[in-house]
A and B are shown apart, each in its own frame.
Chain A
C-alpha cells in the first residue's frame, strides 16, 4: 500500500468497524476487497457509457486471465470524476480518449497539426500527463471514437443535410438534445457552435437513454453521439460529416494511474497487448451487440477477447455466437434479476443507514447546543443550508481529492446532506418545547441540564423524528447518485442503464429506489405517530 493511497485506506479502516457495529448487515464488496495484504487488486473503472463499460470489462477480464485480482468500478461520474479518481490512485486504469485528454483534462487548445495527425496529439497528451500528473497513456487501442452529430433520416432529406456546414445553414429551425458533458465542453458544442456558426432553436441537456428516444419520437431533431455508437444503427440515424475537421481525433487508449505506472509493470505489460488491436468496425459491432441486442457486457467482452485470441475460448464462444438476450416482459426480467436487486437494496440501505445514523449523532447535539447560543444558530443553519444547495453530484466530486472514490466519500456527502433537516428540527423542537412547562420547571429549581433531559428533549422527540424522516427520504434519493463515484447501491443499474440506453435496467434501479423511499417514509411516519403522545397530537391538530 503506497503512501499516496493511504488517506482513503485510513478512512476505510475507520469505517469498517463502524459498518459492522451499526448494522451488522452485508458490507459492499469493494470495502472488504481492500483487506488482503499481498498485491492490491487492480481497480478497473469506466465512464458511464456503453463503450467505456465494454473496454473496461475487457481490461478486467484480460488481467484476470493472467491471474490478477481485479476490482470493477464501472460508470464513474463523467471525465472529471474518473480522471480525478485515477490521478489520486483511487482507481488504477480506465479507458480514455486522446481528444478528451487534451481538451477536458489539460484544457489545451487543439492545433491544426494535431487535428490532422493523431500521433502528434497522442505525443502531446502522453508527455503532459506524465509530467503534470504522473499518469500514463498506453499506446492507443487502434480505433477512434469521436463525437458525431446525428439526425433522423427524414430530417436529413427535408433540409438537405449531409455535412455540419449544411447543419449550420438549417440550424435555426432545429432543436437539439445533447448530453450535458457535450454541451459544456470546448471540444464539444461550445467549440462546434463557434467553429461552424451553428445557432439552434433550442438546446437542452438530455441523458443518453432519453436522447435517442426523444429524437426518434420527433421531440428533438439533432443529437450528439459517438462514432462507434451502436445506437446510431438501432434508430436508423444519419451522422453528419465533419467537413471542416472541427472534431479532434479521439483515439481510445488505456489510462494508467501513477501508482500502477510506478509499481505494476505486470499490469502494463498485460494491457499493452490490446494496443493497436481494436478496429473501429469491430468496436461498433460489439457496441451494437450491447446497446441494440442488449447482450450482457461481460459476455460481449469475453467474446471480443476470444476473437482477438487474447484469451482462450473457455467453452463459450465469440460475440456472434453468444445467445441473444431474450426479450421478456419487465416482470420476468425483474424476477431474473432479483438476487442482484436484493444485493443493491442491501447496499443502498447500508449507505443510507450509516449516513443517517452519523447525521443523527452529530445533528441532534448540534441542534441542542444551538438552542444555548441562538446567535451562532443562525450562522450554522445558514452554513448547513448552503451545503444543501450544492448539487449532489458536485458534492460527490469535491470528495474525491480527499477521500478517493467508493463508500467513504459517498457516506460523507450523504451525511452532509442529512444534517440540516435533523439539526433544524432539533433546534426548533427544543426551543419550542412547551414554554409553560419549561418556565415552571425553571421556577422550581431545575438546572439547565435537567430541563433539557427531563422536559425539552422528551417534548422535542416527535419534531426530531420528523426531521430524521425528511433526511431519510432525501438520503434514499441522493444515494442513487453515489454510484457515480463507485459506492454501489441502486444507482448502479440506473447509471449503467442510462449509459446503455437500456430503460429496463434504469427501471430496475429506479423503481426499487422509489419504493424504498416510500417504505422508509411510511415506516418512519409510523414511528413518529407511535412516539407522539396524545396531548401533543391534540395540540397540533387543534392549532
Chain B
C-alpha cells in the first residue's frame, strides 16, 4: 500500500485559538478520504495544510512521501488539484480559459485541449460551454467546471473544500454523478471536506470525523457505524441515520 498524503502530529492556531491539536492521518494512493465535521472543527485548516495554503505550527505534511516544506507553495499547488466551495471561477474568463488555467501554469503544450478533455469528462461539451462566461452557467455547471479545472492537468491528487455544499439537492446529485464518473476514469487520490455525512458515505473510501481540532475517529463507514470510537461519532451517526441507513444496507 502506498500513501499519497500524510499528516503527522499537526498543530496550528489562529492567534490564541487552536485549530489543529495533534492531527495525524494517511490517505492511500487512489482512495478518497472524507473529512467530516462541524464548522470550526479544523477540517478546512487541515485540508489547506496539504497544499501549504496554511502552514502548521508543528508537525509534518508529506505528499508522495516527501515533506512539503521542500517545495514552494505555488509549485506544490499546481500539482494538487483544488475545488473550492463556491467554484471561484474567474468571472471575466470563458469556461474553457478557466479550465485551462493549471495546464497553462505548468506549461502544458496545448492547455485548451487539456481543458476541453476535462470538460468532457465532467459532462460538459467544450463546444457548447467553452465560450460561455461563468455567470451564464447554473450553479451545478459552475461546480463541474471547477472540478474540470482541478483535473485538467491530470493531477494525481485533488483537494475538495466542501465543493457541493452550496448546491440544491437535484444539482448536487448530478454533480456527484459527474464526480464519480471522473474518479472512475482517472483514479486520483482525493480529500473531500464536507459537513454532510451522507455525501461522505456516498463518495468516500474512508471517513475521518473531526471535532475541536482533533480526529475523533478515522475508518470506513462500516467501522464507524459498528464501533463508534466516541460519543460524538455516535451522535453524528444517529443524526445522519435516516440518510445513511439505505447506503449501509440495513
Contact assessment for B133 and A436 in the assembled complex, using a CB-CB cutoff below 8 Å: no
Give chain A residues whose Cβ lies under 8 Å from the Cβ of B101. Answer: 441, 444, 446
Contact assessment for A439 and B88 in the assembled complex, using a CB-CB cutoff below 8 Å: yes
Contact assessment for A440 and B105 in the assembled complex, using a CB-CB cutoff below 8 Å: no
Smallest Cβ-Cβ distance to B89: which chain A residue: A437
Contact assessment for B78 and A445 in the assembled complex, using a CB-CB cutoff below 8 Å: yes
In the assembly, what is the distance between CA of A130 and CA of B75, in Å?
Answer: 72
Within 8 A of B (CB), among A528-543: 533-536, 538
Contact assessment for A446 and B92 in the assembled complex, using a CB-CB cutoff below 8 Å: no
Known: A444-B82, A444-B105, A445-B105. A458 touches B92 (CB 8 A): yes
Give chain B residues whose Cβ lies under 8 Å from the Cβ of A459. Answer: 91-92
A455 adjacent to chain B (CB < 8 Å): yes
Contact assessment for B74 and A436 in the assembled complex, using a CB-CB cutoff below 8 Å: no
A217 adjacent to chain B (CB < 8 Å): no
Contact assessment for A535 and B91 in the assembled complex, using a CB-CB cutoff below 8 Å: yes
A17 to chain B, nearest CB (A): 36
B87 adjacent to chain A (CB < 8 Å): yes
Give chain B residues whose Cβ lies under 8 Å from the Cβ of A439. Answer: 84, 88
Within 8 A of B (CB), among A431-452: 434, 436-437, 439-447, 450
Within 8 A of A (CB), among B12-48: none
Contact assessment for B92 and A443 in the assembled complex, using a CB-CB cutoff below 8 Å: no
In the assembly, what is the distance between CA of A220 and CA of B156, in Å?
Answer: 86
Contact assessment for A434 and B78 in the assembled complex, using a CB-CB cutoff below 8 Å: no
Smallest Cβ-Cβ distance to B73: which chain A residue: A445
B135 adjacent to chain A (CB < 8 Å): yes
Contact assessment for B84 and A440 in the assembled complex, using a CB-CB cutoff below 8 Å: yes
Please report the total number of A residues contacting B with Cβ < 8 Å.
Answer: 22
Smallest Cβ-Cβ distance to A435: which chain B residue: B88
Q: Which of B84, B105, B133 contacts A443 (CB 8 A)?
A: B84
Q: Mark A446-478, 1 if CB is under 8 A from B, else 0.
A: 110010001100110000000000000000000
Contact assessment for B77 and A444 in the assembled complex, using a CB-CB cutoff below 8 Å: yes
Interface size class of B (residues with CB under 8 A): 20 to 34
A543 to chain B, nearest CB (A): 15
Give chain B residues whose Cβ lies under 8 Å from the Cβ of A446. Answer: 74, 101, 105
Contact assessment for B74 and A443 in the assembled complex, using a CB-CB cutoff below 8 Å: no
Q: Which of A436, A444, A533 contacts B78 (CB 8 A)?
A: A444
Q: Which of B75, B84, B88, B91 contacts A445 (CB 8 A)?
A: B75
Of A434, A442, A443, the most chain B CB neighbours within 10 A belong to: A443
Within 8 A of A (CB), among B72-86: 74-79, 81-82, 84, 86
Give chain A residues whose Cβ lies under 8 Å from the Cβ of B150. Answer: 444
Known: A446-B105, A535-B133, A535-B135. A441 touches B74 (CB 8 A): no
In the assembly, what is the distance between CA of A436 and CA of B149, in Å?
Answer: 15
Give chain A residues whose Cβ lies under 8 Å from the Cβ of B149. Answer: 444
Contact assessment for A455 and B90 in the assembled complex, using a CB-CB cutoff below 8 Å: yes
A455 to chain B, nearest CB (A): 6
Q: How many A-B residue pairs have CB under 8 A?
A: 68
Q: Which of B51, B75, B77, B90 contacts A454 (CB 8 A)?
A: B90
In the assembly, what is the distance between CA of A439 and CA of B54, in Å?
Answer: 13
Contact assessment for A534 and B135 in the assembled complex, using a CB-CB cutoff below 8 Å: yes
In the assembly, what is the distance between CA of A444 and CA of B145, in Å?
Answer: 14
Give chain B residues whose Cβ lies under 8 Å from the Cβ of A444. Answer: 77-78, 81-82, 101-102, 105, 149-150
Give chain A residues whose Cβ lies under 8 Å from the Cβ of B77. Answer: 442-445
A458 to chain B, nearest CB (A): 5
Q: Which of B53, B75, B87, B102 contacts A442 (CB 8 A)?
A: B53
Q: Which of B81, B82, B91, B133 contacts A437 (CB 8 A)?
A: B91
Smallest Cβ-Cβ distance to B75: which chain A residue: A445
Within 8 A of A (CB), among B166-190: none
Give chain B residues whose Cβ lies under 8 Å from the Cβ of A440. Answer: 82, 84, 87-90, 146
In the assembly, what is the distance between CA of A357 and CA of B79, in Å?
Answer: 42
Give chain B residues whose Cβ lies under 8 Å from the Cβ of A533. Answer: 91-92, 133
In the assembly, what is the distance between CA of A439 and CA of B150, in Å?
Answer: 14
Contact assessment for B88 and A436 in the assembled complex, using a CB-CB cutoff below 8 Å: yes
Give chain A residues whose Cβ lies under 8 Å from the Cβ of B87. Answer: 436, 440
Smallest Cβ-Cβ distance to B97: which chain A residue: A454
Contact assessment for A445 and B53 in the assembled complex, using a CB-CB cutoff below 8 Å: no
A298 to chain B, nearest CB (A): 58
Known: A437-B91, A535-B135. A443 touches B86 (CB 8 A): no
Smallest Cβ-Cβ distance to A461: which chain B residue: B92
In the assembly, what is the distance between CA of A203 and CA of B98, in Å?
Answer: 67
In the assembly, what is the distance between CA of A535 and CA of B132, in Å?
Answer: 12
Smallest Cβ-Cβ distance to B91: which chain A residue: A535
In the assembly, what is the distance between CA of A535 and CA of B53, in Å?
Answer: 28
A528 to chain B, nearest CB (A): 16
Smallest Cβ-Cβ distance to A434: which chain B residue: B91
Contact assessment for B135 and A538 in the assembled complex, using a CB-CB cutoff below 8 Å: yes
Q: Which of B51, B86, B105, B135 contacts A436 (CB 8 A)?
A: B86
Contact assessment for B133 and A445 in the assembled complex, using a CB-CB cutoff below 8 Å: no
In the assembly, what is the distance between CA of A46 and CA of B90, in Å?
Answer: 60
In the assembly, what is the distance between CA of A202 and CA of B148, in Å?
Answer: 76
In the assembly, what is the distance between CA of A459 and CA of B91, in Å?
Answer: 8
Give chain A residues whose Cβ lies under 8 Å from the Cβ of B105. Answer: 444-446, 450
Q: Mark B139-154, 1 if CB is under 8 A from A, else 0.
A: 0000000100110000
A73 to chain B, nearest CB (A): 50
Within 8 A of A (CB), among B94-145: 101-102, 105, 133-135
A538 to chain B, nearest CB (A): 7
Give chain B residues whose Cβ lies under 8 Å from the Cβ of A447. Answer: 74
Give chain A residues whose Cβ lies under 8 Å from the Cβ of B84. Answer: 436, 439-440, 443
Known: A440-B84, A534-B135, A538-B135. A445 touches B92 (CB 8 A): no
In the assembly, what is the distance between CA of A459 and CA of B88, in Å?
Answer: 13
A453 to chain B, nearest CB (A): 12
Give chain B residues whose Cβ lies under 8 Å from the Cβ of A450. Answer: 105
Within 8 A of A (CB), among B45-81: 51, 53, 74-79, 81
Smallest Cβ-Cβ distance to B85: which chain A residue: A436
Within 8 A of B (CB), among A409-427: none
B209 to chain A, nearest CB (A): 24
Contact assessment for B90 and A441 in the assembled complex, using a CB-CB cutoff below 8 Å: yes
In the assembly, what is the distance between CA of A538 and CA of B133, in Å?
Answer: 14
In the assembly, what is the distance between CA of A466 and CA of B158, in Å?
Answer: 40
In the assembly, what is the distance between CA of A533 and CA of B87, in Å?
Answer: 19
Smallest Cβ-Cβ distance to A538: which chain B residue: B135
B117 to chain A, nearest CB (A): 18
Q: Mark B202-238, 1 if CB is under 8 A from A, else 0.
A: 0000000000000000000000000000000000000
A443-B88, A445-B75 known, 6 other contacts, Cβ within 8 Å: A437-B88, A440-B90, A440-B146, A445-B79, A445-B102, A533-B91
Q: Would you mind naming 20 contact pairs between A and B with Cβ atoms under 8 Å apart?
A: A434-B91, A436-B86, A439-B84, A440-B87, A441-B88, A442-B53, A443-B82, A443-B88, A444-B149, A445-B74, A445-B76, A445-B78, A445-B102, A446-B74, A446-B105, A454-B90, A533-B91, A534-B135, A535-B134, A535-B135
Q: Which residues of B contact A (CB under 8 A)?
A: 51, 53, 74-79, 81-82, 84, 86-92, 101-102, 105, 133-135, 146, 149-150
Q: Which 3 A-B pairs have the closest CB atoms?
A: A440-B88, A445-B78, A445-B77
